Chains A and B, each alone.
Chain A
Amino acid sequence: AQSVTQLGSHVSVSEGALVLLRCNYSSSVPPYLFWYVQYPNQGLQLLLKYTTGATLVKGINGFEAEFKKSETSFHLTKPSAHMSDAAEYFCAVMRNSGNTPLVFGKGTRLSVIA
């Protein structure tokens, strides 16, 4: 069975500082990996995804994530936080046969301090 662990339910950074949200996964086969963002009272928006190919994936709003198979990790980073980045971030894994259910982590709430 697949699972996702997001370290830190709440991360707080200063505006302009590095954002690092951690995600580790458990899967018997190389999975597809996703990061979603949820702004207050809104749905889930896809930030980026890794399926195959380059392990460093760039997404929207300046975010990127790197798939590290040896560490079973898919951490999300952004060099410089903006106030508008404050939201809930979810890491998710999917079996690599595609269009199969997403398994989500518990989420990390990112706060950005002015």
Chain B
Amino acid sequence: EPEVTQTPSHQVTQMGQEVILRCVPISNHLYFYWYRQILGQKVEFLVSFYNNEISEKSEIFDDQFSVERPDGSNFTLKIRSTKLEDSAMYFCASSDRTENYGYTFGSGTRLTVV
């Protein structure tokens, strides 16, 4: 069964450093998303991406965040200057209209900012 792949599974970074989280969506999917889950809290929407541009973003997705699809397969989330409160599990997801709106999520990247 097709999967969404995320790398790395766990990343530790120092406060103020830039991090890039990587995702390989399912190959025929057209819509891409990032969500995050702070430990013990609910999963929150960050951003959606379609046709090489952001289609929707939440208030969490401020100027510190950016997304990119640098080639035909990868979808990345960059955090420019990490803060302690950015520590969370970050999930990538992709979907295709023909699948009747069920997202496929990756296994997540646990980001720890120290």
Contacts and interface: CB of A to CB of B under 8 A. Distances in A.
Interface residues of B, number: 27
Contacts of B31: 99
B103 A100 contact: no
B72 to A, nearest CB: 20
Contact of A99 (B6, B45, B95): B95
B28 interface: no
B100 A101 contact: no
B58 interface: yes
B42 A32 contact: no
Chain B interface SS verdict (over half): strand
A82 interface: no
Given A101-B33, A103-B45, A46 B102 contact: yes
Contact of B101 (A49, A103, A104, A107): A49
Contacts of A45: 105
Nearest to A103: B45
Interface string B18-58: 00000000000001010100000111110010100000101
Interface in B86-114: 91, 93, 95, 97, 100-108
A100 B93 CA distance: 12
Interface residues of A, number: 24
B98 to A, nearest CB: 11
B102 to A, nearest CB: 5
Contacts of A101: 33, 45, 48, 56, 58
Interface of A: 32, 34, 36, 41-46, 49, 51, 90, 92, 94, 98-107
29 contacts: A32-B101, A34-B102, A41-B107, A42-B107, A43-B91, A43-B105, A43-B106, A43-B108, A44-B43, A45-B105, A46-B104, A49-B100, A51-B101, A94-B101, A98-B97, A98-B101, A99-B31, A99-B50, A99-B95, A99-B97, A100-B56, A101-B48, A101-B56, A102-B43, A102-B103, A103-B45, A104-B42, A104-B43, A107-B43
